[in-house]
Amino acid sequence: MAEAGKFNPLLWFVALAIINGTWYGVAGGEAKHEINDQLHSTEDRTIDISSVFGLDKEISATFSVDFFKVSADSGNASWKITDENGQLIAKWQGSIGQEQGWEGQLSPGTYTINTTMDEGFLTEQNLFIKPFENLRLEGHLLLSIGLIVLAFLEPIVKKNIGKIIPKQQPRTSKSKKNPFKSNNDGMPENDQFHDDDPWRSPTNE
């Protein structure tokens, strides 16, 4: 076991693996934007894609589409995605049962999804985005560098804190008085004979 206060590279290596593994899972996470469901369908749906950490970097997105027959056997449908300037991002048009989704990159901003379909059909549409997917490499670098810097600064910080905060002196316990300490007062064998003792032997002059 490493001595307290000494740099232990093994522990920091484990911490490096843990934080990078955690970031790997977070970066692959998806956020779901419900566009249409079978009970609440609309022709035009507007959604906002927020920037991540204030950056204008594109965000990975997946658009899933399903059409369902209700009272018709065949029909046609279409969908398209446009940005706030009306520029076409993606589209599909064809027979129901052959619908296709889309995967791509979306910049932060406002988008409109337009859906049309024949009578007797319902649709379910979802937009899945991965906000941190395109920042995966940057996240690994920042977390790793930050942990390495922290590992080298830790001994310095501890040393300076030790200088600033005075060490408390341990309190010395006061010696207790022994209640059984011998007391020679009043012991006849230890009494001193005084010169004026009336029972002393007479002296020859």
d(CA 113, CA 10): 52
pTM of the model: 0.63
Tell me what pLDDT residue 1 has. 41
Tell me what pLDDT residue 161 has. 75
Residuewise pLDDT in 10s, the chain (205 residues): 444 455 567 887 888 888 888 888 877 788 999 999 988 888 999 999 988 888 888 999 999 999 998 888 899 999 999 999 999 999 999 999 999 999 999 999 999 999 999 999 999 999 999 988 888 888 778 888 888 888 777 777 777 776 677 655 555 555 555 555 555 555 555 555 455 555 555 555 5
Question: Cα–Cα distances in Å, from 33 out to 49, 71, 170, 172?
Answer: 10, 28, 62, 68
Tell me what pLDDT residue 198 has. 54
Q: State the DSSP code for 200.
A: S
Six token digits for residue 100: 């296709």
Q: Which residues of 55-86 are buried (b: 16+ CB within 10 A; e: fewer)?
A: eeeebbbebbbebeeeeeeeeebebbbbeeee
Instruction: Using the structure block, give the residue that is written with the tokens 């009043």.
Output: 186
Tell me what pLDDT residue 51 has. 87
d(CA 27, CA 198): 109
Sign of CA dihedral 78, 81, 86, 88: negative
Tell me what pLDDT residue 110 has. 96
